[in-house]
Structure 1
Amino acid sequence: MLPEYLVPGIFSGINNLVALQTTRNGGASPAPFNSLNFGKNTGDSAGNIRQNTVALCRSLNIAPDTLAGSDQVHGTKLLHVRQPGFYSGYDALATAEQGIYLCIYTADCFPVLLFDPVNRAAAAIHAGWKGTACMIVPKTITFMQQRFRSNPDDILAWIGTGISQAAYEVEFAVADNFSPAHYKATPSDNGKYLLDLAGANLEQLLRSGVPEKQIETSTFCSSRDSNLFFSYRRDAGKTGRMVSLIGLTPP
């Protein structure tokens, strides 16, 4: 079985761009990581993760040693990636180099992929509630403006699959980090709130100057769509990670 993944429509037609988010299907990992797991700190074996990585790269016709990722820490540090490899402490990666594929690992948090087709620059962002509250997406766009001369009017954005508002129940101490437009009381009125992280990131993209017509949001939910995605919350932490990837293949 081949690795399964979603391909964002917003990037269609861009020559040599690879952009995707994997599902949980088509890998080698056993339960509870079944089966296409890319999470290194999940309890799955390094051999299984390596096998899944090789299979995905083979299906994309890219080499495993061209990937760039990080052990994400729910912060806002951004790395300008000039060489592939696995880094430490970054939740956003950006590059204008061809042949480097930026990777973000998630299981409820939102992956946000950005591409500037004018300056041929890409970014991959890990947007959990902490990163979103601390404006990791606008900070990444500002970085792209400063480093790559990107114009937000040109940027294409994809908000990938994460946990939907209907499934994301949080305490008020978390919800209070966001505009009231992005949370509401639970139907049971149990003192908790349903948080719309996708909507919060969409608003931040728009406020950063990215046109609405150039933004796409996944319609899936990592928690609800259990046949397709890992969910840390649904599975009480014992689960795998999807990878979201973006990069330019050399012509």
Structure 2
Amino acid sequence: MTPSRFVRPTIFQSIPGLVAGVSTRHGGLSKIPYSSLNVGVHTNDAPEVIEQNLSLLCADLGISPADLARSYQVHGDKIWVTGRAGYQSGFDAMISVQPGVFAGVGIADCTPILLADPVTRVCAAIHAGWKGTVAQIVYKTAKRMMENRGSNPADILAYIGPCISLGHFEVGDEVASQFDTALKTRKGTKWHVDLKAANAAQLLALGIEQIEIDPACTVENNADFFSHRTEKGVTGRMLALIGFQVA
């Protein structure tokens, strides 16, 4: 069986009209080292091939690339709240307040977090590397949904997608010191940090308890997902996206 281009989280499957999940590296047209479904526009892959890959992915999902709201990501904590599709710069979280607009973030080891409120039909896609995690971008994005868009934390569903796992995210003292003891472990002279648990803790702190944590690791499962660390910076990007279709 041909591997799928897209992983669909279980937690969202009962929500009518919601398109959400993370692309894999399968089913695209890119050549090594970007093989094969690279949708990262800021890689050195051929731009026309990236565009074709994105079209293939969106066709599978029944949406158009023109309906995506994305940004050049900078490992910060800025949030773009939008009712229109397009491409910006400097944002690591996108909140879509309009059905038909699909928020998306690029990833290749950093943690993708998708949030959906089926009551307000507002959703968010978040890119959280270790810097974004320390800056509490997930907490800030979910809080923005609650304060500005009237979301009840009991209604918000969250998916924490494939990223580098605790076993493989090795960091030095400088990075480790910025994480709580419960989120890191010492192995020899190095620390290992659990980004999935760190971002889940930010959601739980707001009362968001409906959380699915994908067990996949971009390093261990490098055959299915791109890994910036494993492939020494020369690799493609997956797309984590979420949005409500127009009723």
Quickly name the TM-score band, shorter chain normalised. over 0.9
**Aligned amino acid, residue 62 of structure 1:** I
Q: Contact 2:73/2:92 (CA < 8 Å) preserved in 1?
A: yes
Q: CA deviation at 1:63?
A: 1.4
Q: Contact 1:72/1:90 (CA < 8 Å) preserved in 2?
A: yes
RMSD: 1.0
For 1:221, the equivalent position in structure 2 comes to 217
For 2:202, the equivalent position in structure 1 comes to 204
Structure 2 SS opposite 1:53 = helix
* TM-score, L = length of structure 2: 0.97
Structure 2 SS opposite 1:240 = coil
Matched, 1:72 2:73: yes
Matched, 1:235 2:236: no
2:96 and 2:28 map into 1 onto residues whose CA distance is 28
Provide, for residues 195-250 of structure 1, a one-character-per-residue CA deviation record: whole Å limited to 9, x for no partner.
Answer: 10001011111111102xx1000110001111101000001001000001100111
1:229 and 1:2 map into 2 onto residues whose CA distance is 12
Q: Contact 1:152/1:209 (CA < 8 Å) preserved in 2?
A: yes
**Aligned amino acid, residue 79 of structure 1:** W
Q: Contact 1:170/1:194 (CA < 8 Å) preserved in 2?
A: yes
Change (3 A) 1:152 1:44: same
**Aligned amino acid, residue 23 of structure 1:** T
1:3 and 1:29 map into 2 onto residues whose CA distance is 16
Q: Equivalent pairs: percent with the same residue? A: 44
> Map of 1:69-218 to 2, 5 A cutoff?
69-186=70-187, 189=188, 191-211=189-209, 214-218=210-214
**Aligned amino acid, residue 197 of structure 2:** G
Q: Contact 2:77/2:132 (CA < 8 Å) preserved in 1?
A: yes
Structure 2 SS opposite 1:215 = strand
**Aligned amino acid, residue 194 of structure 2:** D
Q: Contact 1:2/1:59 (CA < 8 Å) preserved in 2?
A: no
Structure 1 runs of 4+ off > 3 angstroms? none
1:96 and 1:20 map into 2 onto residues whose CA distance is 18
Number of corresponding residues: 246
Q: Contact 2:96/2:124 (CA < 8 Å) preserved in 1?
A: yes
**Aligned amino acid, residue 168 of structure 1:** F
2:94 and 2:142 map into 1 onto residues whose CA distance is 11
Structure 2 SS opposite 1:165 = coil
For 2:60, the equivalent position in structure 1 comes to 59
Structure 2 SS opposite 1:209 = coil
Q: CA deviation at 1:90?
A: 0.1
